[in-house]
Amino acid sequence: MKIIISPAKKMKENSDLFPSDGLPRYLNETKRLCREIQKLSLEESRELWKCNEKLARLNYKRFEKMDLEKGTTPALLAYEGLLYQHMAPVVFTREAADYVKEHLRILSGFYGVLCPFDRVTPYRLEMQASLAVGEEKNLYEFWGDKLYQAVVDEDRVIVNLASKEYSKAIEKYLQPEDRFLTVVFGELYEGKIRQKGTLAKMARGEMVRYMAENQVKDLEKLKDFRELGYEYWEKDSRENQWVFLSKD
């Protein structure tokens, strides 16, 4: 079983808590993307990243001097978004860290797929960014089926805790024998289930932590998840989409 999550835009360098394992699987592809971005002017980079001038300058400087071989921060500690805050990897037990090392994968527009303790360097590049590389018109075409090939394993079960922007890079290549289980965290509003981005990110992180702490190998155990007031909602769940509703 593999669990997939999205990256976060905000990143930091932190090599003090967990040792890193090595460099990412698709480093050669990442180097190619890096060279393409380094060709851009500051204004072209800002347009690619869709960010303010301050962030554009920060990331433009990062790419100017980027050495991908010298990344020192384990991926799980490099990202600072809500999902990662609620996952709280800094307080993982050794058993929980071993669990995510085996089962968790981070999808990335820049690195493709990351294992939790791969060495990375801070960057900015969302999967939906309009970056053409050679004949590939965008990052979905650039990565092709590589992300799928990196996350599918012998039991062919994928728990999808990623946003649509990233999960669709996997879904396109699913085979009939795969089980791709998407988890939806929502609220009931006027009889309809609505998913709020902020709460969903928090809940995804909580679910990764729950799975790691409880060494979840059987999907049925996910139904016992109760963090942040969410509970499994059988009525609107389907075989490949499980709904958790907030009771708060």
CA atoms in the 13 A half-sphere facing the CB of 88: 12
pLDDT at residue 213 is higher than 70: yes
pLDDT in tens, 108-146: 999 999 999 999 999 999 999 999 999 999 999 999 999
State CA 6 to chain mean position distance: 2
Contact criterion met (CB below 8 Å) for 150 and 127: no
17 falls in which pLDDT band (50, 70, 90)? Answer: low
List residues bridging with 232 in a β-sheet: 244
Average pLDDT, the chain: 94
Q: Are 205 and 183 in contact (CB under 8 A)?
A: no
Q: In the chain, what is the greatest distance between 2 CA atoms, to the nearest angstrom? A: 53
One-letter identity of residue 4:
I
pLDDT at 12 over 90: no
pTM: predicted TM-score of the whole model, two decimal places: 0.94
Is beta strand 104-108 parallel, antiparallel or unpaired with respect to 2-5? parallel
- Residue 187 carries which side chain, given as an amino acid letter? E
Contact between residue 103 and residue 117 where contact means Cβ atoms under 8 Å apart: no
Q: Count Cβ neighbours within 10 Å for each residue of 156-192 and write b for 16 or more, e otherwise.
A: ebbbbbbbeebbebbeeeeeeebebbbbbbbbeeeee
pLDDT of residue 7: 97
Q: Where are the beta strands (DSSP E) in the chain?
A: 2-5, 73-74, 104-108, 112-114, 119-120, 157-160, 179-189, 192-194, 230-232, 241-246
